[in-house]
A and B are shown apart, each in its own frame.
Chain A
Amino acid sequence: MATLKLSNVKKSYGAVDVIKGVDLEIEHGEFVVFVGPSGCGKSTLLRMISGLEDITSGTLEIGGEVVNDKPPKERGIAMVFQSYAIFPHMTVRENVQFGLTIAGASKQEKEEKVAEAARVLQMEHLLDRRPSQLSGGQRQRVAIGRAIVRKPKVFLFDEPLSNLDAALRMDMRMEIGRLHDTLDATMIYVTHDQVEAMTLADKIVVLKDGLVMQVGTPMELFHEPANLFVAGFLGAPSMNFLDVDVTERDGTFAKVANAALDPITVAHKGRIDGPGKGVLGIRPQHVSAVEPGSGMLHGKVNMTERLGTETVANMTLQDGSTFIATFDEDKIFQQGESIDLVFSPEQAHLFAPGEMKSAAH
């Protein structure tokens, strides 16, 4: 069984700490996505799991066995690189069977396994071509073929779709999802694209500056972000953050308001200690527009973008802050038109100001 366990894993280059202590458990068969802004250490973490990078401290277990000091080939992993990393002088067939050639597999075994991989990836007709004759999507397919042919316990994907154009990216995304269902293998996938993360993952790990910000299912992260960073990182357009004054607080709820927001009561989830400052997060999709005077959030429309399926309104609230609202229907606002917004307080998230603490600790 290919479970993975990372315990307080750290990585430093000299005095620079890149990974600052990651604890993570991954079950067999899970599709885990590492997501975060560039430089957050997600690729480094993946490369540490693969064995291409040393682990400075902490332990990494694969299938219950500590593999810190084992070379990549003894970890039972396969990896797909952003740049494909297929060998330019070999045919597709030779590329796909490379791992088997290295292991000294028989000709018959190679043929069978390559045929199977080619069938799964629908690239039988490409086997005798050279990489230079392939498109980007086909090359990535070859790289995936090379990974699956050895039947590894864990698949590692390092931004595999970043070099593809948008349409192809969607196709390959679905294909990777399908592959996960077919292969029943553990997959770890690094991306900076939140759509890939949301659509593919069983479990998302949000990283920032070498720390885990939150781990959870895509919907948990979307609906219950543990901190400002996760709240702002997932969802498009990003969540709006209002600086609010917390006037009252009891065990569960807090009363918040500011110049643009009439007092409302929201759950604080233990994230603020008492009256004072707070940040209220509201997703653009969770508001509706109403006549001025009948809503709780007051502002003016600066600009609207009508996309057909939805309308995005860029607003300035009465406290001077900017607010993005999206409405399902096609709405027309005049520039400078005053409108009020309503939202359900259960869908608003209250955070302490500047709170970025990792949820995993």
Chain B
Amino acid sequence: MSSKLTRSNKAGWLFAMPGFSLLFLFIIVPFFFAFYLSLTNQRLVSPNEAQFVGLENYRNLLSVAVVTLEPETDDAGQIVRDEDGEIEYPRVRTITRSDEFPQYRGMGEWFRWHWGDTAKVVIASDVLFMKALVNTLTFALFIVPLQGGGALLLALLINQKLRGINVFRTVYFMPVVISIVVISLLWRFIYSGNDGLLNNILEVLTLGAFTPIDWLGRTDTALGSIIAMSAWQGMGFHMVIWLAGLQAISPTLYEAAAIEGASKWQTFRYVTWPGLRNTAVLVLIVITMQSFAVFAQVDVMTNGGPLDSTQTLVFQTVERGYGKQDISGGATISVILFLMVLTISAVQGFLTRERK
């Protein structure tokens, strides 16, 4: 039998209409629109008619190749070395701008490694996109254990009957209710190279032995700094989810474990953690999805810099779509991001499925 909703309940559908049309207009239409745009050369504002270009946008983003550079040799066939003794190689542009290799035209060097005397150079048609991709993956890889683990630790701490425990619950949750933009601004002061809070604290703790660092101004610390701040900011939210999971575990199970002589760690291992299974899957997938969407922190704190070391996919989407008015390029990145997150979530769901 069909449900009552689908059986001629016109009033019901009428009431649902405003909600449905808003969902349709602002979520479903843009979703499919992004797919469509990624197959055209649409500009944000342009007098020219957009053309259908097939998968060219994807090709422009994703093309990667490895080229091998042979060392420069002199007339005697000897390998040429510079003053430091490093082998000299021809420049990559001798390949990417050569008519001999039309397939590499326009590509740039992403990174290289050495194989004997030769150098293997990975060239990509969109090096910036590749950097953003790697940064986003790195971000997700660190955020998931940091934020998820930290949140679990906090949840275990606040899941106690202590006087004033609500103060701690509130304090830990506070970063979640504050706008990420505000938090990013505040942390810019904390990370500041001249007289930032973090540098001051480290100086005091090391009795002045620590040399201040411009945390957001160096390629080797900028991404790490953003990761640390983001993990801290989102922890409270997942703490609440963990807490709900913890409180769903029957107290008698803990009593049974205590009677059987389980230590604190054994109780966690045999009672708490298995009881949190479903919560863990949820937290894992939610954090993964959120971390792939990292944008505001980058936008406020570093603008993708220094030297593209904090570029991320969503930042690139916005940058291209609106900054460069290349809306089809932005749409293409967002479609790729969607497929990535979908795949990863599906894999996570599969790996953490209930085994009978």
Contact = CB atoms under 8 A, between A and B. Distances in A.
A52 B258 contact: yes
A167 interface: no
B261 A103 contact: yes
B258 A98 contact: no
A72 B258 contact: yes
A13 B277 CA distance: 35
Interface string A51-78: 1100000000000000000011100011
A52 B259 CA distance: 8
B256 A73 contact: no
A89 interface: yes
A98 B270 contact: yes
A18 to B, nearest CB: 18
A216 to B, nearest CB: 29
Nearest to B260: A99
Contacts of A110: none
B261 A85 contact: no
B260 A83 contact: no
B266 A102 contact: yes
A81 interface: yes
Contact of B252 (A73, A81, A99, A101): A81
B253 A99 contact: no
A52 B260 CA distance: 12
A99 B261 contact: yes
Nearest to B267: A102
A93 to B, nearest CB: 14
A73 B258 contact: yes
Most buried by B among A51, A90, A98, A101: A98
B56 interface: no
Interface string A184-213: 000000000000000000000000000000
Given A73-B258, A73-B259, A102-B262, A89 B252 contact: no
A142 to B, nearest CB: 11
B275 interface: yes
Contacts of A101: 270
Contacts of B260: 73, 78, 98-99, 102, 146, 150
Given A89-B275, A98-B270, A83 B250 contact: yes
A87 B277 CA distance: 13
A85 B252 contact: yes
Contacts, number: 61
A71 B264 CA distance: 13
B183 interface: no
Interface in B224-268: 250, 252-253, 255-263, 266
A146 B270 CA distance: 15
A139 to B, nearest CB: 12
A50 interface: yes
A134 B304 CA distance: 57
A102 B252 CA distance: 17
A40 interface: no
A312 interface: no
B271 interface: yes
A102 B275 CA distance: 18
Nearest to A82: B252
Contact of A77 (B252, B256, B259, B262): B259
Most buried by A among B250, B275, B277: B250
B230 to A, nearest CB: 32
Interface string B126-152: 000000000000000000000000000
A79 B274 CA distance: 22
A85 B255 contact: yes
Contact of A85 (B250, B266, B270, B277): B250
Interface string B265-292: 0100011001101000000000000000
B266 A89 contact: no
Interface string B57-86: 000000000000000000000000000000
Nearest to B277: A89
Contacts of B258: 51-52, 71-73
A50 B259 CA distance: 7
Interface string A129-148: 00000000000000000100
A19 B260 CA distance: 26
A72 B262 CA distance: 10
A98 B257 CA distance: 9
Contacts of A77: 259
Contact of A72 (B261, B270, B271, B274): B261
Contacts of A78: 259-260
Interface in B302-335: none
A98 B256 CA distance: 10
Contact of A79 (B253, B256, B277): B256
Nearest to A147: B259
Contacts of A79: 255-256, 259
Most buried by A among B257, B263, B266: B257
Contacts of B262: 73, 102
A81 B256 contact: yes
Given A85-B250, A87-B270, A102-B266, A72 B259 contact: yes
B323 to A, nearest CB: 50
Contacts of A88: 275
Contacts of B261: 71-73, 99, 102-103
Contacts of B257: 98, 102
A77 B256 CA distance: 11
Nearest to A94: B270
Interface of B: 250, 252-253, 255-263, 266, 270-271, 274-275, 277
Given A72-B259, A73-B261, 13 more contacts: A50-B259, A73-B262, A79-B256, A79-B259, A81-B252, A83-B252, A85-B252, A88-B275, A89-B274, A90-B270, A102-B263, A102-B270, A146-B260
17 contacts: A50-B259, A51-B259, A71-B258, A71-B261, A72-B261, A73-B258, A73-B259, A83-B252, A85-B250, A85-B256, A86-B256, A90-B270, A90-B274, A99-B260, A102-B262, A102-B266, A146-B256
Interface of A: 50-52, 71-73, 77-79, 81, 83, 85-90, 98-99, 101-103, 146, 150
